[in-house]
Chain A
Amino acid sequence: MYLYSLTLQQAGGVVCATNGNFVGGKTQEIVVARGKTLDLLRPDDAGKLQTLLSVEVFGAIRSLSQFRLTGSQKDYVVVGSDSGRLVILEYSRERNLFHKVHQETFGKSGCRRIVPGQFLAVDPKGRAVMATACEKQKLVYVLNRDAAARLTISSPLEAHKSHTISYSVVGVDCGFDNPVFAAIELDYSEADLDPTGQAAAEAQKHLTFYELDLGLNHVSRKWSEPVDNGANLLVTVPGGGDGPSGVLVCAENFVIYKNQGHPDVRAVIPRRADLPAERGVLVVSAATHRQKSMFFFLLQTEYGDIFKVTLEHEGDRVAELKIKYFDTIPVTCSMCVLKTGFLFAASEFGNHALYQFQAIGEAEDVEASSATLMETEEGFQPVFFQPRGLKNLVRIDQIESLMPIMDMRVMNLFEEETPQVFTLCGRGPRSSLRILRPGLAINEMAVSQLPGTPSAVWTVKKNVNDEFDAYIVVSFVNATLVLSIGETIEEVSDSGFLDTTPSLSVSLLGDDSLMQVHPNGIRHIREDGRINEWKTPGKKTIVKVGSNRLQVVIALSGGELIYFEMDMTGQLMEVEKHEMPGDVACLDIAPVPEGRQRSRFLAVGSFDNTIRILSLDPDDCMQILSVQSVSSPPESLLLLEVQASTGGEDGADHPASVFLNAGLQNGVLFRTVVDMVTGQLSDTRSRFLGLRAPKLFSATVRGRQAMLCLSSRPWLGYIHQGHFLLTPLSYETLEYAASFSSDQCAEGVVAVAGEALRIFTIERLGETFNETVVPLRYTPRKFVLQPKRKHLVIIESDQGAFTAEERDAARKECLEAAGMGENGNAMENGGGDEEEKEDALSDEQYGYPKAESDKWVSCIRVLDPRTGNTTCLLELQENEAAFSLCTVNFHDKEYGTLLAVGTAKGLQFWPKRSLAAGFIHIYRFVEEGKSLELVHKTQVEGIPLALCQFQGRLLAGIGSVLRLYDLGKRRLLRKCENKLFPNTIVSIHTYRDRIYVGDIQESFHYCKYRRDENQLYIFADDSVPRWLTASHHIDFDTMAGADKFGNVYFVRLSQDVSDEIEEDPTGGKIKWEQGKLNGAPNKVEEIVQFHVGDVVTCLQKASLIPGGGECVIYGTVMGSLGALLPFTSREDVDFFSHLEMHMRQEHPPLCGRDHMAFRSAYFPVKDVIDGDLCEQFPTLPPDLQRKIADELDRTPGEILKKLEDVRNKII
């Protein structure tokens, strides 16, 4: 079995982010590392974050930093990864890619504790960079420039100190003095040698300054001082004339200003009033804002509260450190303050957000200061505050993130054309069920009913220079309706259009006149109101029209073509006639190219399954240039011109080319390239779009020509980051469409469907899925489908939180207290916006109040996915938390389908994993599956982490015991068990009489149940220890699994062993045969192995397209979705493995990790081709593409087609 691996949805989570000016000019961009991809984001004028570039680097990015050489206009990115190399990247605007400027190898690959890459610190003046490991190693590289102003990098200078752990490293701003780096370090050498543990208890963190002497080219430890043991983060304080220099040390509950030769300035971080006393406050992320005259820091705590930190200083002496409550946003892993007044918050979990500054916290608020710090006998006096709604920030955009995907299932619950992906995402108060549908999201702006069933719709401008459309023209069977676009859209009768006849086409002609083509003629409406009519000769009627701004071609019944051109006076003149052999099915003229008089090509589709390209040149007017035969009569044609461009919005350049698109009656979209000179057709591609013949319309997307295809569902063909993408829209079937532009919506679409007129915009271009979000209460764990009623049953549980009732009570109390305390404020706000206030304090924004860590909350939810309504929510009581569930039908018992839920009471992970009790709850579905009723609960000795139905009974994995339960009157009855599993059972799958058990550390065990002996036997297991995180049953002998190191693998029991086990009627062999070292007698073979580079949490076998082959879909912790598609032919395997091989050689990954080494990080990659690498082929320079194509005996076009084909097989 060979598989093709392809990432369908990129990871949404962010590991680290940095901002700077990477493109050049005045703009500000953000570079975001999402595990193994590097993204370049930029907020556009409307405040929406746009992704300029997204590159897969085939390595784990651990740190990012940005620097600028003095006097330079552009920033560089430094990347610390698991490659054992330091990489410096520069964004190339012309080619829209990151260019690797330097790649310095310093150690082994992989995330190791003494190989640098975990931390990067850059000198604020861009003169040096320090790469630090978690332990021991620190390397300093000197950055400089050569005569040609190119960046140079020195050999590394070592600043190692063994037995030292680093916590945080920054570059200290000391102007143009020697560069200094600061680090929080802990020396454990004594603690390691002292067996009594006394030294370990007394271990002390130090703040150490390292100085790089540029003259001596040497790094020395300049200064080291003990620092608070809770210190975890350093923030650089501006220096060199802009500020006092030094660092802010963020410690538990405190922020301390430190500098060499300066006394500590310490201030306490304000606490939330409802925080338990034993919990500290830690800063998790920081951002600095500096202007010429001032600077301040934003520090975010682990609870999401942002504090503004300011320093009162005179020269180098800091007089006071102030910490003022700023706002509360969801906890971030990285914050970026842009100079343009935005704050980018990369959330730890869930959606990321872009905020705009409304104020910079000048207003009165809770403030802690070093000057008022009080030390009493119990320690420092805390300062309390109450979180409130956003005051200084306002959210203007968010980027969706599925991180973390906890569980996923692909089902077609809504009976749509393609199945939906149901994912459980997020954590704590930000958790949600997200229903993903392949396709682009739609924002419906207006729907209005029309008096009849319209057949077509157009939009038209009054003048070519107008920004917006003036009329919407709707054609019915025997009438035409004209609507004018203004503040509102209303019917008009003075437009000059003939309204007693249906229309075939309405468009702008010349600069400012309008044209209406109806079956009996052409009506030309001049700007001054004069009307010219052209009537069809004899009894012939017009059947098809093609037109652009200056040319019109009509097809009369019988197959006659008449070509008109606009002359200098603005008159439409007949130029040429041409008799076609039969009726014309469709025709189209390309738009007039920039700076030209006319378009050169006319495409005509006939019912004899051919498409002809005719010339419109005066020299050879109406000559057939080329003929293409197609599989079915064409229904609609569209000539799409892709303009030549260099460095557009996304920075990529495209050579000019014309594509002929044809929608055929059998539902296929046919696409070919038209040669600009000869009109010859080449490089044909076809794709099945739906059951109806696609109708094609031109539209505008991001200022560029795009194509709307209306088949049984609408599709959009557009160019994104230099690739042509054809993606479905998540919208109903449409009849006819036109692009629409008004001042409310710049790039919209107006369409007719049924009796309604719809106006919508297309959102989030470039995404594969669009999502519908249903919020949940706690971290979702697992879900199952209630088979009959198609409801979802979800279990959610959280540690260290309060139950809903406790929270409600506490909040009420707290709001009352706040109202009492700030009575004046409450009055000012007024009682009117009570709702807003309620909303402003949403849990999603502020997080749950924290409880003791041994306190669990959990609930079981029954949810109707169609409406998103929760029909039943059972909150578990007494510190119980749900961990597993399944539906089960007990044989010959009266209840029908029951729900089994495995729970644990009082679970603790630290200092040792312990629990008060485990339970299996049995629930009955009542009220047509909408609600649950407890039948009984059975106590068990461990946590039931896996449950599964088996032969009308319930199989449960409780710790290391696999047990079979039957339903009793008052409890579950233990019928049979096997205690021979090595650690903890985390997954159970069954098929016929086989049971596939997944162990937390030891991969899969294949078992068999023998009824006649009432025994469970393990007959095969895996020889490789795998820390299983997800599993799925593929076939009778095969299982797919994923481990916590980011590998996906398939194991298979060999055919002869399987036969032997199935044929052995006595079962003697299973029973008596013993394996070696307590293992099973037979071993499964690993047939597929692939390192995804991200922890896979769920696997499923499914097909995402109707009638497509099944593939294995996986979801990961970082929120990405991927697919593994089995190849069906040996040829494809050969082709793609060669392409992969060439790509590896010609296009090594960006962060310096070897591609093969990355995919084989834990076990050698086996029989999987990396589609993500293959799909980077179009980003190669054309000569390299050609070189690779030559080696493969193909053309680059064929390779692109092949890549497109295999992608279309998956989605």
Chain B
Amino acid sequence: MSTYGGDSWAREAHHRKRRVDDLMLFPSSSSSSRDASFPSFKKLSNGKYACLVCPHNPILDTPLMLSVHNKGSRHIAAESRVRASELSKRNELHKRIALSEDSTGLSSSDILVQQGKSSGFHNKPLIQKTMKAILETKSNQMENPKFVVAGHKTELGTRSSVCDSKHSPATDGIREPSGNDACEFSNSNEKKLLMTAATNKMLTDWHSEFSECREKELKFTSAGWKRDCHGKWYRDENVEFDSDEEDPNITLR
């Protein structure tokens, strides 16, 4: 109602515009943010809005202002940056999963899960989240081979589309089309297993070599050797050594 009486359309129109903006804001935000777990803004308890995409998290009084902000060049730039970093994070994740699975087999994941449970990571959300993600992706991969065995080319196709290009090269190899024969299928299956085994072995070798090296180094540190800033080993003056003790400078070269 206007102060002067009578029907005032201006106030109503103002409201309408706000409402439309509100509505505009939500679909636009949902489309811009990739999933519900990572919204681009947050409604604060005092009714204001904070943008979560921009690094300095600006606080905006109304949805209108937020929508205006969202259209701004700075926000768009920040958004693209976030998107890029997320992508790289995901790639990294895949890489790690592939590595950890290949080198130590499935049991390691079980141990990881158990450790997580036992040592109470519940109060460490980041670790928890990572673990969950790893677990999910892994279970996906676990299910996929079943489709291969079922022998449906279409399924295989969908699978390849599920797995992105960053998958390990070994699995890439078998994705080459190989006829419709069931026999060939089994062949390719065996081949695949062989190849994974080979890569596994390579990875474990590399890993055990690394841990062996680490173990050797630890042996020397616990025996009282120290390293200077050039990476050279020297004896701690407070520690006693046997006359024929191994010299890490020679052994570890």
Contact = CB atoms under 8 A, between A and B. Distances in A.
Interface of A: 966, 968-969, 973-977, 1011-1014, 1059, 1062-1063
A973 B241 CA distance: 6
Contacts of B236: 1014
Interface residues of B, number: 15
Interface stretch (B39-47, B89-97, B200-208, B221-229): B221-229
Contacts of B244: 969
B239 interface: yes
A975 B242 contact: no
Contact of A1012 (B120, B218, B241, B242): B218
B161 interface: no
B119 interface: yes
A1062 B223 CA distance: 23
Contacts of A974: 238-240
Contact of A1014 (B119, B221, B240, B242): B221
Contact of B224 (A969, A976, A1059, A1062): A976
Contacts of B218: 1011-1012
Interface in B123-173: none
A824 to B, nearest CB: 67
Given A1012-B218, A1059-B119, A966 B243 contact: no
Contacts of A1062: 119
A969 B239 contact: no
Interface in B76-134: 119-120
A1011 B219 CA distance: 8
Nearest to A1009: B222
B227 to A, nearest CB: 11
A976 B191 CA distance: 53
Contacts of B120: 1059
B222 A975 contact: yes
A882 B120 CA distance: 46
Nearest to A953: B222
Given A968-B240, A974-B239, A975-B239, A1013 B221 contact: yes
Given A976-B222, A1012-B218, 9 more contacts: A969-B242, A969-B243, A975-B223, A976-B224, A976-B239, A1011-B221, A1012-B222, A1014-B223, A1063-B119
A1014 B222 contact: yes
Contacts of B241: 973
Interface string B236-253: 101111111000000000
Nearest to A969: B242
Contacts of A966: 223
A966 B120 CA distance: 36
Contacts of A968: 240, 242
A239 to B, nearest CB: 74
Nearest to A965: B240
Contacts of B242: 968-969, 973
B125 to A, nearest CB: 15
- 9 smallest A-B Cβ distances: which pairs? A973-B240, A1011-B222, A968-B242, A974-B240, A1011-B218, A1014-B222, A1014-B221, A975-B224, A1012-B221
23 contacts: A966-B223, A969-B242, A969-B243, A969-B244, A973-B240, A973-B241, A973-B242, A974-B238, A975-B223, A975-B224, A975-B240, A976-B239, A977-B238, A1011-B218, A1011-B221, A1012-B221, A1012-B222, A1014-B223, A1014-B224, A1014-B236, A1059-B119, A1059-B120, A1063-B119
Nearest to B215: A1011
B26 to A, nearest CB: 41
A1063 B121 CA distance: 10
A846 B240 CA distance: 49
Contacts of B224: 975-976, 1014
A977 B243 CA distance: 21
Contacts of B240: 968, 973-975
B127 to A, nearest CB: 10
Nearest to B214: A1012
A995 to B, nearest CB: 14
Contacts of B223: 966, 975, 1014
Contacts of A1013: 221
A976 B241 CA distance: 12
Contacts of A1063: 119
Nearest to A977: B238
Contacts of A1014: 221-224, 236, 239
A168 to B, nearest CB: 56
B54 to A, nearest CB: 33
B179 to A, nearest CB: 51
B157 to A, nearest CB: 43
A17 B236 CA distance: 63
A1029 B238 CA distance: 32
A966 B236 CA distance: 15
A1059 B124 CA distance: 13
A1014 B16 CA distance: 72
A958 to B, nearest CB: 14
